[in-house]
Amino acid sequence: MSRRARHLRLAGSALIALAGSLDVSVAGVLPEDRADVLYHSYDGGGVTIDGPSFLVRKQFAGKFSAAANYYVDNVSSASIDVVTSGASPYEEERTQYSVGLDYLHDRWLFNLGLTKSSENDFEGETVSLGISQDLFGDLTTLSLGYSLGDDAVSRRGDADFADTIKRQHYRLGISQILTQNLLLGLSFETITDEGFLNNPYRSVRYLDGSSPIGYSREPEVYPRTRTSDAAALRLRYYLPYRAALHWEYRTYSDTWKINSDTFEMGYTHPLDGGITIEARVRSYSQNRADFFRDLFPNVQFANFIARDKELSTFDSTTLRIGVTYDILESGWRFIEKGSVSLIYDHMLFDYKDFRDLRPPAATGLSPGTEPLYEFDADVIQIFVSFWL
């Protein structure tokens, strides 16, 4: 898994929060003209990630809507992987550019998107296609999507290392209005990855009686293919006083034998004066990949070996509080209205078979008896939206 993929996982809630992302179009309706500015900040586990994002949407010719997004991650990492491997903390910048085009025809909505991202040892490019249609008197919306990614991986300080990753992402979504107040959503997705799928800097550890610390290290080796499947069920219930409850369950499995479950519950409540508050709790759990071990019994123990904590058995819990304030309700010049949002997430990670090798926690302990690793993280998102 590349550092880029890991950074996206850590900052995922910041990405999700950006109002009007390029892939949330609804069948039968073009996205509204708007501009969004986001600042996100992640701090946890020795990693800090922050940066801005800018997105603009604009309709034209009555049937088209174009969108453009610029996103930046400024990463500073002294994570447990970096510290325990003896590497120096690093800083890098990742930039991402996205453009999208929606076309509306009757009850059909077609979209095309292109995303390019860049960092000092990774270049990524993804093309995505989507189609959605309203059915049965607009009570049902069916959507299909496909994305093709082509990534290039390199390694700092090693001019001879270069590899690629090919990604394909298939999506199916169904939303159904069940009652006047109840909305159901179902989604299914399959992702296939092929190429260099691990981090070019990470290593595993194995027992070595000749080492003063009882173990030595060797590079990780991953399979060059991975296929994952996920399904999600979402319910949203609108209460009589304009508030809403939502519930989500997501299940995931892949060919590396990782299985995970995600549960989420949330509540959104509008107040007088143009203020809306929200609260959410999210629980995630997964088992380890079949080739993951915190400590291997000997060198070159198997064809595939990994010690990435994201492939281990772990649980995480996310608590969210957010507030949105409507501004410019009467409009101003070419702006119809606006809003300002502040969202705070507190994330707790508890690893079940990945151990903390940092001193002083592991000082004087035999390999395999070190304390299990855990950490918490804070994510802050501030974004301003204007409807044009």
Measured distance CA(55)–CA(67) in Å, rounded: 7
Nearest by Cα to 90 from 173, 176, 210, 7: 7
Q: Looking at residues 117-127, what average pLDDT do you find?
A: 94
Eight-state DSSP code of residue 371:
P
Kindly give the pairing relationship between strand 259-271 and strand 244-254.
antiparallel
Length of the chain equals 388
pLDDT score at 90: 82
Q: Looking at residues 26-42, what average pLDDT do you find?
A: 87
Helix (H, G, I), strand (E, B) or coil at 201: coil
Nearest by Cα to 293 from 365, 207, 354, 352: 354
Measured distance CA(205)–CA(159) in Å, rounded: 26
Q: Looking at residues 363-383, what average pLDDT do you find?
A: 95
**Ordered domains of the chain (ranges, CATH):** 3-387 (2.40.160.40)
Whether 362 shows a pLDDT value over 90: the answer reads no
pLDDT digits (tens, 9 = 90+) for 149-191: 999 999 988 889 999 999 999 999 999 999 999 999 999 999 9
- Residue 333 banded pLDDT, cuts 50, 70, 90: confident
Residues of the chain above pLDDT 70, percent: 92
Nearest by Cα to 356 from 369, 375, 373, 341: 373
Q: Looking at residues 343-370, what average pLDDT do you find?
A: 94
pLDDT score at 343: 97
Nearest by Cα to 243 from 269, 265, 267, 266: 269
Measured distance CA(375)–CA(363) in Å, rounded: 19
pLDDT score at 27: 59
Helix (H, G, I), strand (E, B) or coil at 8: helix
pLDDT digits (tens, 9 = 90+) for 134-153: 988 789 999 999 999 999 99
Helix (H, G, I), strand (E, B) or coil at 269: strand
Measured distance CA(213)–CA(217) in Å, rounded: 11
Whole-number average pLDDT of the chain: 90
**DSSP characters over 9-77:** HHTHHHHHHSTT-TT--BTTBPPPPEEEEEEEEEEETTEEEEEEEEEEEEEETTTEEEEEEEEEEEEEE
Whether 5 shows a pLDDT value over 70: the answer reads no
Stronger pLDDT, 24 or 193, i.e. the higher one: 193
Q: What is the largest CA-CA distance in the chain?
A: 75
- Residue 85 banded pLDDT, cuts 50, 70, 90: confident
Measured distance CA(206)–CA(360) in Å, rounded: 21
Q: Looking at residues 193-212, what average pLDDT do you find?
A: 94
pLDDT score at 334: 80
pTM for the full predicted model? 0.89
Measured distance CA(247)–CA(282) in Å, rounded: 10
